[in-house]
């Protein structure tokens, strides 16, 4: 049931929000902190993480010549601009590859508010990337021509029609459509934002995306680990485990055609609904001369320049009254580094009267109680947590751990009513299967020396010095910061209702459409939790 605004506000003030007329109460963070809950793992879910084969019709190339394929939309920093991306021409993999020339195919988008005629036209740029290996027996890859075109001057909350291609070749896509974001303001929000992580391209992925589409999102956040192409050798042989795959190979190989498969499979969704992506560890994909992240940085368009960033690894954007900050865990983040300095500037420029909600996203979680990747991102937490807390970040989304976990409000491992709610959704459906062991289970606490990630800059996780786990590396029971954890594939939907209330819902793949796995209202309390600028203003007034 959808409540009228007056009824919603009245009920919200009283603290009672009902799902329907049956009177089922949805809890809110005002009711917390909650006692930790662990949902028992269903063993029948372990056997389904099988990749779609290259023979599956959903991943085959269906266009001819230089017709566009793998079409996707991403947002710019503000409502009046979006990016349209696509690929033309065929990729190549082998020992004697010859890259296509991007200059031979134009990058043109025609668009308008009616299907015909499309009265506006924009041009962009194109590129080709390679994945090269200086080792005998390893096959090299070169992509098709990747096009990125930015549309500007758009109206807010408006349906636009578009087609992309090269008019000189008569190589056009079919007419598609997308809807722009609302203008930034405390009462303007996209209806539904889907959040998913660690997708891959398995049969579980297809269920996740099918359920996600049924929820009709206006925006998709993908919190890292896109295709898992690096679970394959260059000859297409696959493995179920990143850390144990192909130890005899001279370099960690990757099978780049899996990116093309993923782009084709996802086109039905992301050619209509904008997708915003942040990098995960499976996007590193090291190649010749130490180059990394070539596919990730080439295939997606990012509002980096528009948001003042010089990197594809961190950027920000607005979606109505929400300001999203996308951070990179696999690039330097200390206070002396460019990312941290950019983050300081970005947060200082956020106007909470226009974008009351502040949401941050990066791949590896700071607050996870699973054994997998336990406290792996501690160096990033030590470097950045205080800054994010001081500016009043409301929600943090992460992936990496292949399970679901929602936290109580927390800061520096201590329950704090002004801390963010951390939500791990690394359960999109990837081939590596679910994380099921918890660090607090007897005998499952990792050896501290095994916890840091080689890409995160060092070892920062030590025994706790205070609190219930003082003197230990792991808690003896589910940590008090962990409100709910469950090992199931799924996705989440964020629905911001007004400047202080947002509904978070997590859906499990094994459930029927519409059934809820976890649901809570996340409530901001700006009067109790003033942000950095307000504190600074009071300090100057007092002095």
Provide the annotated active-site residues: 373
What CA–CA distance (Å, rounded) separates 332 from 337? Answer: 6
Q: Please write down the long-range contacts of 207-211, taking CB distance under 8 Å and 24 or more positions apart.
A: 207/429, 207/489, 207/509, 208/428, 208/429, 208/489, 208/490, 208/491, 208/509, 209/265, 209/266, 209/269, 211/490, 211/491, 211/507, 211/509, 211/513
What CA–CA distance (Å, rounded) separates 534 from 234? Answer: 54
Backbone angles phi, psi at 75, to 5 degrees: -85, 155
Q: Please write down the long-range contacts of 59-63, taking CB distance under 8 Å and 24 or more positions apart.
A: 59/201, 59/260, 59/261, 59/262, 59/264, 59/265, 60/264, 61/90, 61/260, 61/264, 62/264
**Of 251, 80, 260, 94, whose CA–CA distance to 156 is shortest?**
80
3-state SS class at 93: strand
What CA–CA distance (Å, rounded) separates 27 from 37? Answer: 14
Angle between helices 338-348 and 532-542 (to 10 degrees): 70
DSSP-assigned letter for residue 377:
T
Neighbours of 537 (CB within 10 A): 11
What CA–CA distance (Å, rounded) separates 82 from 76? Answer: 5
Tell me: cis bond preceding 84? Omega within 30 of 0 counts.
Answer: no
Contacts of residue 299, Cβ cutoff 8 Å, sequence gap at least 6: 70, 85, 87, 143, 146, 259, 263
Bridge partners (DSSP) of residue 118 are none
Contacts of residue 512, Cβ cutoff 8 Å, sequence gap at least 6: none
**Of 126, 122, 129, 127, whose CA–CA distance to 164 is shortest?**
122
3-state SS class at 157: coil
DSSP-assigned letter for residue 231:
G
Angle between helices 338-348 and 378-390 (to 10 degrees): 20
**What HEC string does 7-64 produce?**
HHHHHHHHCCEECCCCCCEECEHHHCCCCCEECCCCHHHHHHCCECCCCCCCCCCCCC
- Residues 351, 343: contact at Cβ < 8 Å? no
DSSP-assigned letter for residue 182:
P
């Amino acid at each position: 049931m959808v409540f009228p605004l007056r009824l919603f506000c009245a009920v919200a003030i009283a603290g009672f929000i009902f799902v329907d007329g049956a009177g089922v109460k949805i809890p809110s963070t005002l009711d917390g902190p909650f006692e930790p809950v662990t949902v028992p793992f269903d063993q029948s879910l372990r056997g389904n993480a099988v990749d779609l084969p290259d023979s599956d019709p959903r991943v085959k190339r269906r266009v001819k010549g230089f017709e566009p394929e793998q079409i996707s939309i991403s947002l710019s920093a503000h409502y009046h601009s979006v990016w349209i991306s696509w690929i033309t021409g065929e990729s190549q993999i082998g020992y004697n590859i010859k890259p296509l020339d991007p200059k031979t195919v134009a990058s043109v988008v025609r668009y308008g508010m009616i299907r015909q005629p499309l009265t506006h036209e924009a041009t962009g740029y194109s590129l080709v990337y390679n994945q090269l290996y200086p080792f005998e027996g390893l096959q090299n890859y070169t992509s098709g021509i990747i096009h990125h075109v930015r549309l500007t001057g758009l109206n807010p909350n408006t349906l636009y029609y578009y087609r992309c291609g090269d008019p000189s070749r008569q190589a056009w896509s079919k007419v598609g459509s997308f809807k722009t974001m609302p203008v930034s303001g405390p009462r303007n929000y996209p209806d539904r934002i889907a959040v998913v992580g660690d997708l891959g391209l398995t049969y579980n992925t297809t269920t996740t995306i099918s359920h996600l589409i049924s929820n009709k999102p206006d925006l998709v956040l993908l919190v890292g680990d896109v295709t898992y192409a690096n679970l394959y050798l260059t000859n297409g042989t696959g493995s179920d485990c990143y850390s144990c795959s192909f130890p005899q190979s001279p370099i960690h190989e990757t099978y780049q055609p899996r990116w093309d498969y993923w782009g084709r499979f996802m086109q039905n969704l992301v050619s209509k609904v904008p997708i915003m992506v942040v990098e995960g560890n499976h996007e590193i994909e090291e190649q010749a001369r130490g180059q990394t992240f070539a596919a990730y940085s080439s295939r997606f368009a990012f509002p980096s320049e528009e948001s003042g960033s010089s990197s594809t690894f961190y950027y920000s954007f607005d979606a109505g009254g929400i300001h999203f900050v996308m951070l990179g865990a696999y690039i330097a983040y200390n206070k002396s580094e460019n990312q941290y300095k950019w983050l300081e500037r970005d947060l200082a420029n956020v106007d909470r009267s226009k974008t009351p909600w502040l949401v941050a996203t990066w791949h590896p979680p700071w607050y996870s109680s699973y054994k997998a990747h336990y406290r792996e991102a501690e160096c990033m937490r030590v470097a950045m947590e205080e800054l994010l807390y001081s500016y009043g970040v409301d929600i943090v989304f992460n992936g990496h751990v292949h399970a679901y976990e929602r936290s109580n409000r927390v800061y520096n491992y201590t329950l704090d009513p002004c801390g963010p709610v951390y939500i791990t959704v690394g359960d999109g459906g990837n081939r590596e299967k679910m994380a099921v062991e918890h660090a607090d289970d007897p005998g499952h606490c990792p050896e501290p020396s095994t916890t840091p990630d080689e890409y995160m800059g060092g070892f920062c996780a030590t025994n706790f010095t205070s609190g219930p786990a003082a003197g230990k590396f792991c808690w003896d029971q589910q940590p008090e910061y962990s409100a709910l954890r469950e090992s199931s594939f799924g996705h989440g939907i964020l629905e911001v209702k007004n400047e202080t209330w947002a509904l978070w819902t997590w859906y499990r793949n094994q459930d029927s459409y519409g059934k809820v796995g976890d649901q809570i209202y996340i409530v901001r309390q700006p009067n109790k939790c003033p942000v950095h600028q307000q504190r600074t203003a009071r300090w100057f007034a007092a002095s």
